[in-house]
Amino acid sequence: MIHKIKQSRSEKILLFFLISLFIFSLGSFFIIKNKCLFIKDHDPKKIKFIHPENIAILRAPCGNVIIELYPNISPNSVKRFKMLIERKEYDNVAFHRVIKNVLVQSGDTEYGKRESLNYAKIGNGKSKYGTINTETDNNFDFGKGTVAMARTYERNSEDTQFFILLKDAPLFEGEYSPVGKVKYGLDVLKKIKYDNKTEYILRPDFIETFRMLRSIN
């Protein structure tokens, strides 16, 4: 005959505590692991735009970044940028240079592609389209969210790379060609993988897709 031993009060409390601890640990593990948990993913179809023809959607690991392009500010740079988006050149391209809370840079279509990532040369890639001139004649506020063409130390060397500012950088006015501004989803960019010790990222995050709004409607 088996005697049932009743749990004492203190044993019940201990069991409850252990179960709670397990649930809390499991929950925390998923919360910590999921860096995108509290990031709002904006649906462009639910937003009304004044100039929908100039809206581009960058799909990053944590959601959509909705960018308005300004062809009246930098006509040639925006033309190039739109062309690259329309040809899907930016799909699966790494955010190879990320400086926490300062900027994210991507667009190396030669050495930054997911399938042919070249750590030794990333950031130095060239495209088959050639370089374009720097456009800095028009005034532009290089505030947080500005999207601008990246270049080498020489002016007029813009090609495919671009950067997005995560903080105001008024010094950049007159130096880089602005192409647009992030309207929604700056928080998504703050979750792009960065390293506290280096600007250039090992196993970086990638642009999943980059499309003009009209092509996804």
Partner 1 sequence: MKLIKILIIVLFFSTNVLADTIYYLLKIPNLEIIDIKNNNSIKTFKAKKYFKVGIKDNNVECYSPSNLLVKEKQKLIRENIDLYSKVFLNKINLRFIVLCKDLEVASIPALGIPNHPLKTIIVNINTNDYKLSRTIHHEIFHIINDQYKELFDHEKWKKFNSEDFKYQSCSTCADKFGMKLLREKKGFLSEYSQSTVGEDMAETFSFLMIENSELRIKLQNDDHLKKKINFIKSNIQLIDQNFKFIL
* CA–CA gap between residue 48 and residue 51 (Å, rounded): 9
Stretch that binds partner 1, among 85-93, 98-106, 183-191, 209-217 (CB under 8 A): 98-106
Residue 198, amino acid:
T
Q: What is the CA radius of gyration of the chain?
A: 23
Q: How far is the CB of 7 from partner 1 (least distance, A)?
A: 55
Burial of 120 (0-12, 13-18, 19+ CB in 10 A): exposed
* Cβ 112 vs Cβ 203: under 8 Å: no
Among 41, 91, 199, 208, interactor with partner 1 by CB under 8 A: 199
Among 120, 128, 203, 217, interactor with partner 1 by CB under 8 A: 120
| Comparison of 86 and 199: residue with beta carbon closer to partner 1 | 199
How many other CB atoms sit within 10 Å of the CB of residue 75?
12
Residue 198 makes contact with partner 1 by CB under 8 A? yes
Residue with tokens 């506020």: 141
Residue 131 makes contact with partner 1 by CB under 8 A? no
Residue 101 makes contact with partner 1 by CB under 8 A? no
Residue with tokens 């060609």: 177
Stretch that binds partner 1, among 10-18, 45-53, 71-79, 198-206 (CB under 8 A): 198-206
Residue with tokens 């910590």: 32
Q: How far is the CB of 118 from partner 1 (least distance, A)?
A: 9
Among 52, 91, 99, 144, interactor with partner 1 by CB under 8 A: 99
Among 15, 37, 102, 216, interactor with partner 1 by CB under 8 A: 102
* CA–CA gap between residue 20 and residue 37 (Å, rounded): 22
The alpha carbon of 97 is separated from its chain's Cα centroid by a whole number of angstroms, namely 11
What secondary structure, in 3-state letters, does 2-38 show?
A: CCCCCCCHHHHHHHHHHHHHHHHHHHHHHHHHCCCCC
Residue 200 makes contact with partner 1 by CB under 8 A? yes
Interstrand relation of 55-60 and 162-165 (parallel, antiparallel or unpaired): unpaired
Residue 155 makes contact with partner 1 by CB under 8 A? yes
Among 10, 101, 170, 203, interactor with partner 1 by CB under 8 A: 170
Q: How far is the CB of 76 from partner 1 (least distance, A)?
A: 16
Residue 83 makes contact with partner 1 by CB under 8 A? no
Q: Kind and range of the H or E element at 173? A: none
Residue 175 makes contact with partner 1 by CB under 8 A? yes
Interface contacts to partner 1, rule CB under 8 A: 99-100, 102, 119-120, 136, 153, 155, 169-175, 195-200, 202
